[in-house]
Amino acid sequence: MDLTDDEALPLPPPFMFECNDCTRLLLDLANKTNADTGCFTEQLAVAKHLADVHPDDVPETHTRRCDQCPKYRTLPDAADAWAEHRARDLFLPETVARLM
Ligand SMILES: [Zn+2]
Ligand SMILES: [Zn+2]
């Protein structure tokens, strides 16, 4: 299977390799991705961990090419979900990260 740049997993930022939990969650995700099975649960687990434990490393609000940030901005109770959405940028290709 050849992956295009849009579909290949990006190299996660260095801080994720210094965290045991990040490393474990990324390996779970990579194993699922390589096996070409659904990895929805694993994506959510990584994003939730990033938002909970590494809030300072969650990217800023997307100002371009994102349909989700403008929606989250209008939802007062969506702060956690919004942070998890932005955290997806750190470990997923942009086209996948911004689907939800
Ligand atoms: Zn971590
Ligand atoms: Zn966004």
Residue 13 structure tokens: 């930022």
Token output for 21: 């939990």
Residue partners of 5: CB distance under 8 A and separation at least 6? 93
Interval between CA 57 and ligand 1 midpoint (Å): 10
Distance 30 CA to ligand 2 centre (A): 23
Query: Residue 57: pLDDT above 50?
Result: yes
9-46 residue pLDDT tens: 778 999 999 999 999 999 998 888 666 556 788 999 99
